[in-house]
Structure 1
Amino acid sequence: MWQRIDPGAAGFAPDLAERLDALVEEGRAAGLHGVVVARHGRLVLERYGTGEDYAWNTPLGVVDFGPETRHDVRSVTKSVVGLLYGVALAAGLVPEPGEPILRHFPEHADLAADPGRAALTVEHALTMTLGLDWDESAPYTGPENSEIAMEMAEDRYRFVLERPIVEEPGKRWSYSGGAAALVGGLIARGVGRPLEEFARDALFAPLGITSFEWMAGEDGVASAASGLRLTPRDLARIGQAVLDAEAIPASWTAEMLRPHVPTWDGFSYGYLWHVGPGERPGRPGEPPSWRAMAAGNGGQRLFLFPDLDLVVAVTAGAYNGDGQDAAARAVLDEVLLPALTS
């Protein structure tokens, strides 16, 4: 259970809630469904709205969101899988990042006979540098999108591992839900039970998270790429656990959030987490950027600011369109960060 703290006592302007309300009322955060802000491990602010929503591609109609309303977090799921891998690794249940990945999918030994595929490691999946053909540029509504095609496949792991090789692994970041699926498969095989059960017992329960869903593909396997549904409060709770290394080894969070491969505009990718600079190069005096981010289709965001001991969780409904991060960026750049006083 979150303990509350007044914005002023948490180092924000006392009128923080009013600033957020004004942002929404002025239409500068379209599609915003929920915001939860925590600082120093306490709940500073939460706000919920109303809007059309979906569970994956199933319409839910107009939803009045609240503290107990679960929401798709889409590809934020990948980052939670990154946490679960670290927990399993500390217990000796999954292979080390440097191990060949096909060694742990022995049913696909024919693929391992290809030297190019035999070179794929667990780390290549964790960093999305597999070098395999993968395209998620199409909407997440049909098999033209590689992730959706994977969710419809008879064997999701073979679907990923047999994609054409387009470049040397480890050289370039290329967004891939298939990479997360492979990591999820390694976890499930290593712990000897479904991914969602391990998540419940090894991460969610220790954090007091009791309300979640984990959607599955046509093969009945929980989607490690995008299947989680959580409340914004619980999403923020996971973020706080990362900052506090609670239920997650501190050594793993450090490695997970270390820049491993460049992505865009000075940002990087760690192990299934986006990694930011924590500062805004060339822009002295401006509020800091996030240091780590988990992001999902539609504007789902979990921002971590370790130096500020600040966690921000945002849910939104801008699925498959342009400007999916507009609401979250407005919340951060126009309300929260300018309102910091200490």
Structure 2
Amino acid sequence: MRDLHIVLAARSEKVFLEHYAEGRDEEWGRPIGQIAFDAGTLHDLRSVTKSIVSLLYADLAADPAREKITIGHALTMTLGMEWDENRPYSDPQNSEIAMENAPDRYRFILERPIIADPGSRWIYSGGSVALVGAIIERGCGKSLPDFAREALFAPLGIERFHWSAGGDGVASVASGLRLAAPDLLKIGQLLLRKGLWNGERIASEGWINASLTATISTPDGLGYGRLWFTGDAPAPAFAAPKSWYGGFGNGGQRLWLMPEADIAAVIYAGKYNAQDAWVTPTRVWREIILANFLNA
């Protein structure tokens, strides 16, 4: 399939599908040419970054409408603030790009007009996750990449990663993380194990359960928890519906999880900014990965 870079899937921690291709790629919007992808290649996660961040956990506050906003609303993208990421990410009017270009990214986010009661409406928002990242940094006293290295990556044996930053030097919490496919697969397997890794507790089981529990519906009918999408595998794949969970990123980046079947799958692709970028990873998940499981 054109623009498909990497597919890596494991069941019960044993890889059963592995595919590496060659194709043109980008690093956070900057073309980096033709790449021969392999297990060591760092790849943009784009908005799968948001789902990884979910594992790490002034005057505007005087506005009564904004006083109702909580961290929970930021984690579930239900701030109720105007935000537009439907525009291409090459458009400076795209809200995430405008945030990155703003003199003060946090003021830019918090100044957005309130258009719905907090908690009542899902609006896809990189700004929501930027606020979560700021709270994490202020709480731990470290940059987000440094905290992620200490709290998540090092315990999983992830040594190589890159986190792109804006002009202000702040790491992009919404889309800037680059990981090799086997390392993203480790994060998926950590979630399947409810936060345990080699017998050690890396993340709270309660937090993971809450993160993967849908609290609101998206406009396209999926559920959304704490920075994770949720849904059911369609018939006739299974006799009874089986739930899946996913981190989705621009261009076709995916981390898919199906706990009931103990499957974690990584898909990297290069169809950045395309409206139909979801088609190929969804076909691979449904028609190749799940079909492989059924035939196993």
Normalised to the residue count of structure 2, the TM-score between the two structures is: 0.94
Q: 2-side partners of 1:31 and 1:169: how far apart?
A: 38
Q: Report the equivalent of 2:205.
A: 250
Instruction: State yes or no: 1:292 paired with 2:264.
Output: no
Shift of 1:341: 3.3
Structure 1 position 147, deviation (Å): 0.2
2:16 is aligned with 1:61: no
What SS is found at the alignment partner of 2:129? helix
- Partners of 2:8 and 2:15 within 8 A in 1: yes
- 1:51 is the counterpart of 2:23: yes
Specify the alignment match of 1:269 in structure 2: 224
Q: Distance in 2 between matches of 1:140 and 1:266?
A: 24
- For residues 140 and 186 of structure 1, the distance between their equivalents in structure 2, rounded to whole angstroms, comes to 25
Find the structure with the greater CA-based Rg.
1
Q: Work out the number of aligned pairs and report it.
A: 289
What is the one-letter code of the residue matched to 2:186? R
Q: What is residue 90 of structure 1 aligned with on the other side?
A: none
**1:341 aligned to 2:295?**
yes
Q: Match of 1:122, as an amino acid? A: I
Unaligned runs of 5+ in 1: 1-28, 86-108
Q: How much has 1:285 moved relative to structure 2?
A: 4.3
- For 1:285 and 1:258, the matched residues in 2 are separated by 21
Opposite residue 13 of structure 2, the aligned amino acid is G
SS of the aligned residue for 1:187 comes to: helix
Equivalence for 1:7: none
The aligned counterpart of 2:11 is 39
Q: AA paired with 1:155? A: D
What per-residue deviation string (whole Å, max 9, x for no partner) do you get for residues 270-325 of structure 1? Answer: 00111113x43x75846856511000000000000000000010000010012112
Distance in 2 between residues matched to 1:53 and 1:65, nearest whole Å: 10
Cα distance in 2 for partners of 1:142, 1:212 equals: 27
Q: Is the 8 A contact 1:34 1:48 kept in 2?
A: yes
SS at match of 1:337: helix
Q: Report the Cα offset of residue 178 of structure 1.
A: 0.2
How many Å apart are 1:43 and its aligned residue? 2.0
More deviation in 250-259 or 40-49?
40-49
Q: Give yes or no for contact 2:17–2:289 (8 Å, CA) kept in 1.
A: no
1:305 to 2:268 alignment: no
Letter in 1 for 2:102: A
Any idea what the Cα deviations from partners look like across 1:183-225, whole Å, max 9, x if unmatched? 0110000000100000001000000111100001111000110
Aligned partners of 1:153 and 1:219 also within 8 Å: no
Note if contact 1:287-1:337 (Cα within 8 Å) is conserved in structure 2.
no
1:201 aligns with 2:150: yes
2:199 corresponding residue in structure 1 = none
Computed over aligned residues only, the root mean square deviation of the Cα atoms, in angstroms, reads 1.6
Q: State the AA in 2 paired with 1:187.
A: I
Residue equivalent to 1:77: 49
Q: Which residue of 2 aligns with 1:236?
A: 185
SS at match of 1:328: helix
Quick check: which one's strand share is greater? 2
Q: CA separation in 2, counterparts of 1:175 and 1:259?
A: 15
Mapping for residues 1-342 of structure 1, pairs under 5 Å: 29-85=1-57, 109-244=58-193, 245-246=195-196, 247-277=202-232, 279-280=233-234, 285=238, 291-339=244-292, 340-341=294-295
TM-score normalised over the length of structure 1 = 0.81
Equivalent in the alignment of 1:91: none
2: distance between equivalents of 1:336 and 1:265? Answer: 23
Cα distance in 2 for partners of 1:234, 1:265 equals 30
For structure 2, the 5+ residue unaligned runs are 197-201
SS in 2 for 1:329: helix
Amino acid of the structure 2 residue aligned with 1:341: N
The 8 Å contact of residues 75 and 296 in structure 1, kept in 2 or not, is answered as yes
Q: Cα–Cα, structure 1 residues 233 and 285, in superposed 2: closer, same or farther, change >3 Å?
A: closer
Q: Give SS of 1:338's match.
A: helix
| 2:56 partner SS | helix
Supply the distance in 1 between the matched residues of 2:30 and 2:90 (Cα, whole angstroms).
Answer: 10
Q: Shift of residue 264 of structure 1?
A: 3.9
Aligned-partner residue type, residue 290 of structure 2? L
Amino acid at match of 1:31: D
